[in-house]
Structure 1
Amino acid sequence: MKHQLILTASLTLTTAFAQSSQTVKHELGSTDIRGTPKRIIALENSFIDALAQLNVKPAGVADDGSPLPHLAAYVKGVPTVGTRNQPSLEAILALKPDLILADLERHKNIYPQLAKIAPTLVLNSYRGSRDELLDQFSLIADLTNKDAQGKTLREEHQRLFAKTKLLTSKKAGPTVIGVLAPNGFWVHSDKSFLGTLIKDLGRDNPVSPQKDTQFVMSLEGLVATNPASIILLRNPGEVTPLDQWKTNPLWQSLPAVKAGQVYEFNRDLWAKGRGVIAFNKMLAQATASGYLQDQPAKANFVDQAK
């Protein structure tokens, strides 16, 4: 199953009481989950974001050494189980989880080991679209017995999204969006999470996938794309290709650069957040920056990760 979450429920009787059992179909099969999970391990940021929004404390998280700034207060004191790419099976086992939330891209190879530790759901977070991520949020709300709260929060987000979309200029040209990392400019295609986000907001992303939804693009490639606006996502203080590009005539010749329509945002929030809390903050910044209105960039949001 690629892009659909299906949840069915059955009832199982125990000698003492009736306990609900849910069979959840996910990316790598189906998993039976008994009762309401209380000790959840979240191995991707979007899952942590969902639990935070629902006020459900995880038993452990994968946080790459430090939590995302907008989630730091929520996961304070929560044990870490290593990085998202290489979570520690021993650390996970020691926490005695009753549910593990894993990502298809990062954790498909260790799914058999995770499933032996606890019921494990493998969801398409890293490569997922905005709609998929919202569906995952709703699923997590259902599993944690927060379905009513989850429905309300999702509806609130959708209303905010619709209100924000009204600000999008209908005359705006195409946008290229990507991450500025020390090892290159990682452009996000129209099939990536960020690509679907700006498309849903009414802006066009002219970049198609090249074997992957995200890939390295050279300055020459960016010039060939000739976007009317550019969104750059980077971390404060990092050395990136932009440091050299700024003095390059090719960069200076770009219509987006000449028009002052290069918008800079925090990489952790925009590229790694992938949850309702992050979405709502991104909508506010997309508006405050002037991006949606097709105006010259009003501010630099690289330092605003919370």
Structure 2
Amino acid sequence: MKKTMQYILLLLVALTLVACSSTNKESGNKAKNQKEKSESTTRVVKDAYGDVTIPTEPKNMLVLGSNYAENLIEIGVTPQMVTVVEEIEPEYRFKLFNDNNVKIIPTVQYEDNLEVILEAAPDVIIAQGAAIDAKKYEALSKIAPTVAVEAGVAIDEFVPVLGELFNKEKEAELALKKFRKKIEETKEKLHNAIGDEKILVLRVEQNQYRVLGTEKGSPGSDMLYTQLGLNIPTMLKDNNDWFTPISLEVLPEIDADHIFVEQRQMQNYSSEQSLKDLKNSPMWQAMDAVKAGNVYPLKTADYVVGEGLIGSPLFLDYLVERLVP
């Protein structure tokens, strides 16, 4: 009897040890699986302010600014939300976002719009690094992991960075190749049509007029005078700024063969009266391009705000439409 009891006790101890061992193993496996799952659902990327952990597959990505959203869609990355300033957006972007089920969030121009962003409840925020300072980056990061993309402003500079960020390097490369081909084709058409004729872009603002210079990398100037290699009026050939104020009295001295007139668009802004004053000005009417009827309207939305893999080719088509007989 005594031996039987000892045997039973030994058996119970052995079973207990086995059970404990199994439980510990299961707990260890569970912890390991949870860690692996956590690592697979997030990843670390580098931005303008350092390393940031973001979801591997975002469910509610918010892109601050329609330009980046457009280019992401074009390389195969569709965000769930995008902020826009409705008054200055090019028309094609509304259709682009609606067709891709991207929620459009209206915002106020030149404001932080933090309350609107908080209400959107993003799980990751994508922004142009140059557009947000450290203070705003900190505020955004409290709402959701924020990637301040560190890249230049030119399409050739930031599209490859967006491609790398979302593992779409090949798609970005193909999109840029297509884009460059479009530029070369347009360049050939324009040079065959107008040769050395000079192109002026005159910006009509609320209280002044400005002319486009040759600043590289800036919307319009880079495309017209660098990539397309079109000629700028003699008076402006050494003007390396983006835009420079000019008085109406100087207009007759500008030897422009073609003039694109931009009636500047901004939120809560009107340049209508300035445009009327321009058209009624004897100095404007004395310009050779005006007399010849070589004056064309230009929207801020189409060549500045609309710069991108989709928008810029539309601008190129417009140039051909206006300048090629």
Common topology (TM > 0.5) = yes
Native 8 Å contact 2:264 2:271 kept in 1: yes
Q: Where does residue 179 of structure 2 map in the other structure?
A: 157
Q: Where does residue 64 of structure 1 map in the other structure?
A: 85
Deviations 1:93-140 (A, max 9, x none): 333334323345653352231233322315567xx3xxx223212322
Give the 3-state SS of the residue equivalent to 1:75 in structure 2.
helix
Structure 1 residue 91 and structure 2 residue 124: aligned?
no
For residue 231 of structure 1, report the CA deviation from its aligned partner: 1.5
Give the 3-state SS of the residue equivalent to 2:127 in structure 1.
strand
Structure 2 unmatched ranges of 5 or more: 1-32
Q: What pairs with 1:1-306 in structure 2 (closer than 5 Å)?
A: 15-17=35-37, 19=40, 21-26=43-48, 29-34=49-54, 35-65=56-86, 67-76=89-98, 78-80=103-105, 82-103=107-128, 106-108=131-133, 110-117=136-143, 118-122=145-149, 128=153, 132-169=154-191, 171-191=195-215, 192-199=218-225, 200-205=227-232, 206=236, 208-209=239-240, 213-234=242-263, 239-290=272-323, 293=324
Native 8 Å contact 2:47 2:149 kept in 1: no
Give the whole-Å Cα distance in 2 for the aligned partners of 1:75 and 1:40.
14
For residue 202 of structure 1, report the CA deviation from its aligned partner: 1.2
Q: Where does residue 25 of structure 2 map in the other structure?
A: none
Q: Where does residue 7 of structure 1 map in the other structure?
A: none
Native 8 Å contact 2:112 2:136 kept in 1: no
For residue 254 of structure 1, report the CA deviation from its aligned partner: 1.6
TM-score of the superposed pair, with normalisation by structure 2: 0.71
Q: Which amino acid aligns with 2:60?
A: R
For residue 141 of structure 1, report the CA deviation from its aligned partner: 2.9
Cα gap change, 1:145 to 1:240, in 2 (>3 Å): farther
- Higher radius of gyration, 1 or 2: 2
Native 8 Å contact 1:103 1:123 kept in 2: yes
Q: How many residues align?
A: 271
Q: Where does residue 30 of structure 2 map in the other structure?
A: none
Give the 3-state SS of the residue equivalent to 1:233 in structure 2.
strand
For residue 71 of structure 1, report the CA deviation from its aligned partner: 0.8
Native 8 Å contact 1:184 1:240 kept in 2: no
Cα gap change, 1:202 to 1:78, in 2 (>3 Å): same
Structure 1 unmatched ranges of 5 or more: 1-12, 296-306
Give the whole-Å Cα distance in 1 for the aligned partners of 2:77 and 2:53.
17
Q: Where does residue 5 of structure 1 map in the other structure?
A: none
Which of 231-240 and 40-49 deviates more? 231-240
Q: Where does residue 13 of structure 2 map in the other structure?
A: none
For residue 69 of structure 1, report the CA deviation from its aligned partner: 0.9
Q: Which amino acid aligns with 1:194?
A: G
For residue 87 of structure 1, report the CA deviation from its aligned partner: 3.7
Cα gap change, 1:225 to 1:107, in 2 (>3 Å): farther
Q: Which amino acid aligns with 2:300?
A: R
Give the whole-Å Cα distance in 2 for the aligned partners of 1:33 and 1:225.
54
Native 8 Å contact 1:172 1:228 kept in 2: no
Q: Report the structure, 1 or 2, having the larger helix content.
A: 2
Deviations 1:276-304 (A, max 9, x none): 110110111111111xx5x6xxxxxxxxx
Q: Where does residue 7 of structure 2 map in the other structure?
A: none
Cα gap change, 1:122 to 1:55, in 2 (>3 Å): closer
Give the whole-Å Cα distance in 2 for the aligned partners of 1:172 and 1:38.
52
Q: Which amino acid aligns with 2:78?
A: K
Native 8 Å contact 1:60 1:81 kept in 2: no
Cα gap change, 1:135 to 1:14, in 2 (>3 Å): farther
Give the 3-state SS of the residue equivalent to 1:168 in structure 2.
helix
Native 8 Å contact 1:46 1:273 kept in 2: yes
| CA RMSD, 1 decimal | 3.2
TM-score of the superposed pair, with normalisation by structure 1: 0.74
- The sequence identity of aligned pairs, in percent, is 19
For residue 209 of structure 1, report the CA deviation from its aligned partner: 4.9
Give the 3-state SS of the residue equivalent to 1:172 in structure 2.
coil
Give the whole-Å Cα distance in 1 for the aligned partners of 2:259 and 2:73.
31
Cα gap change, 1:277 to 1:175, in 2 (>3 Å): same
Give the whole-Å Cα distance in 2 for the aligned partners of 1:104 and 1:216.
29
Deviations 1:145-187 (A, max 9, x none): 3332222221111111111111232732332224334443343
